[in-house]
């Protein structure tokens, strides 16, 4: 699928090299705000504002709402549209997504009064603790699916090859979904790691592909608590990152029996939790 033009922005830069200056037209990853509005009956409320790269906005909204427990299944969403309100400037309408819930679903508006503000760097500020995940009925992920080290070795290169916008800008994170044989199923990019994961999970939700019980998720940077939380809610048993996880991400992985892999690159990786899902079949170097 061709990426929308808005995902990249042209910018003039000056390159200084060996005492010489030259002008160059560079391509940057676009960063713009996205407001997610929830509609239930006659009520409407903004539940999130996130800085993101335009594209796959409906998936981002669906994945965010699913990860926060506002919706539980595809049928909870009646429809999603970009804002068409007359009071909103035309150039801003693509930066607002209206999510209309099914008539039988009535959200707890009081609990949603804490408006989220997210950024491309840290995700939702003031995230809940591990105890809050237990209160949301998140259960440890059952053992069953496993993956070989050979399959894991192959994932980073597949991700790099699929990152179209990153290749043009060098400024985006990505989240990819694989099956346990290493087949690439989907990739989503964004200036924020958590947004890329929301888009990926939103893709799975809207396509009725949840839970991700026999899938492997790979993120292009570090694995944070928030990324682990989103993958836990989606039922993903194996989470990999090309750099280190955070301490709270490791604690969450151990608490909920998630296999957490870090520093996945150059035919090596670290396993921080859930080693029992990794089958080592490659010969020792």
User: pLDDT tens across 33-52, in order?
Assistant: 899 999 998 888 888 888 88
DSSP string over 52-111: E-SS-HHHHHHHHHHHTTS--SGGGEEEEEE---TTS-GGGGGGEEEEEEPTT----TTG
Catalytic residues: 122
DSSP-assigned states of every residue in 108-134: -TTGGGS-EEEETTTEESS---HHHHH
Task: Give pLDDT, residue 8.
Answer: 76
User: Rounded to whole angstroms, what are the CA distances from 160 to 148, 157, 224?
Assistant: 20, 5, 20
pLDDT of residue 162: 85
211 preceded by a cis bond (ω within 30 of 0) = yes
For the chain, helix (H) and strand (E) counts, in that order, are 7, 16
Cα diameter, the chain: 67
Q: Which CATH superfamily is domain 147-279 in?
A: Cytidine Deaminase, domain 2 (3.40.140.10)
- pLDDT for res 30: 82
Question: CA–CA distance from 258 to each of 20, 36, 155, 157 (Å)?
Answer: 52, 29, 18, 23
The structural domains of the chain, with segments of one domain joined by +, span 32-126, 147-279
Positive or negative torsion for Cα 94, 95, 96, 101: positive
Which segments of the chain have a pLDDT < 70? 1-5, 16-19, 21, 86-91, 111-136, 164-171, 282-285
pLDDT for the residue 10: 81
179 C-beta neighbours (distance < 10 Å), count? 15
Q: What distance in Å separates the CA atoms of residue 109 and residue 152, rounded to the nearest whole number?
A: 43
Candidates 120, 130, 116, 119; CA nearest to 246 is 130
Residue 36 is predicted with a pLDDT of 93
What is the pTM for the complete model shown?
0.84
The pLDDT, as a whole number, for residue 138 is 81
Pick the CATH number of 32-126 from 2.40.50.100, 3.10.20.10, 1.10.760.10, 3.30.70.270: 3.10.20.10
Give the chain's end-to-end CA distance (angstroms, integer). Answer: 39
Give the model's pLDDT for residue 60: 96
pLDDT at 16: 65
pLDDT of residue 116: 52
> What per-residue confidence (pLDDT) applies to 71?
93
CB 71 within 8 A of CB 77: yes
For residues 102 and 48, what is the distance between their CA atoms, to the nearest angstrom?
19
The answer to whether the beta carbons of residues 80 and 58 sit under 8 Å apart is yes
Residue holding tokens 């926060």? 68
Neighbours of 230 (CB within 10 A): 25
Compute and round to an integer the Cα radius of gyration of the chain.
20
What pLDDT is attached to residue 126?
35
């Amino acid at each position: 699928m061709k990426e929308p033009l808005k995902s990249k922005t042209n910018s003039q830069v000056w390159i200084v090299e060996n005492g010489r200056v030259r002008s160059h037209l560079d391509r940057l990853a676009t960063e713009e705000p996205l407001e997610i509005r929830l509609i239930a009956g006659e009520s409407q409320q903004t539940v999130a504002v996130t800085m993101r790269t335009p594209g796959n906005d409906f998936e981002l909204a669906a994945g965010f709402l699913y990860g926060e427990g506002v919706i539980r299944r595809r049928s909870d969403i009646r429809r999603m549209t970009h804002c068409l309100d007359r009071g909103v400037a035309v150039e801003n309408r693509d930066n607002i997504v209206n999510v209309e819930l099914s008539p039988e679903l009535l959200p707890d508006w009081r609990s949603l009064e804490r408006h989220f503000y997210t950024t491309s760097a840290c995700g939702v500020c003031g995230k809940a603790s591990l105890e809050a995940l237990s209160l949301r009925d998140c259960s440890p992920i059952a053992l069953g699916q496993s993956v070989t080290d050979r399959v894991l070795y192959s994932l980073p290169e597949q991700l790099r090859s699929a990152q179209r916008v990153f290749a043009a800008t060098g400024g985006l994170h990505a989240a990819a979904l694989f099956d346990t044989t290493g087949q690439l199923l989907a990739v989503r990019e964004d200036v924020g790691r958590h947004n890329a994961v929301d888009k990926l999970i939103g893709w799975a939700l809207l396509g009725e592909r949840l839970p991700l019980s026999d899938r492997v998720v790979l993120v292009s940077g570090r694995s944070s608590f928030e990324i682990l939380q989103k993958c836990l809610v989606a039922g993903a048993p194996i989470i990999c990152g090309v750099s280190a996880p955070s301490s709270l991400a490791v604690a969450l992985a151990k608490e909920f029996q998630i296999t957490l892999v870090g520093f996945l690159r150059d035919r090596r990786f670290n396993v921080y939790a859930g080693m029992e899902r990794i089958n080592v079949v490659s010969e020792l170097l």
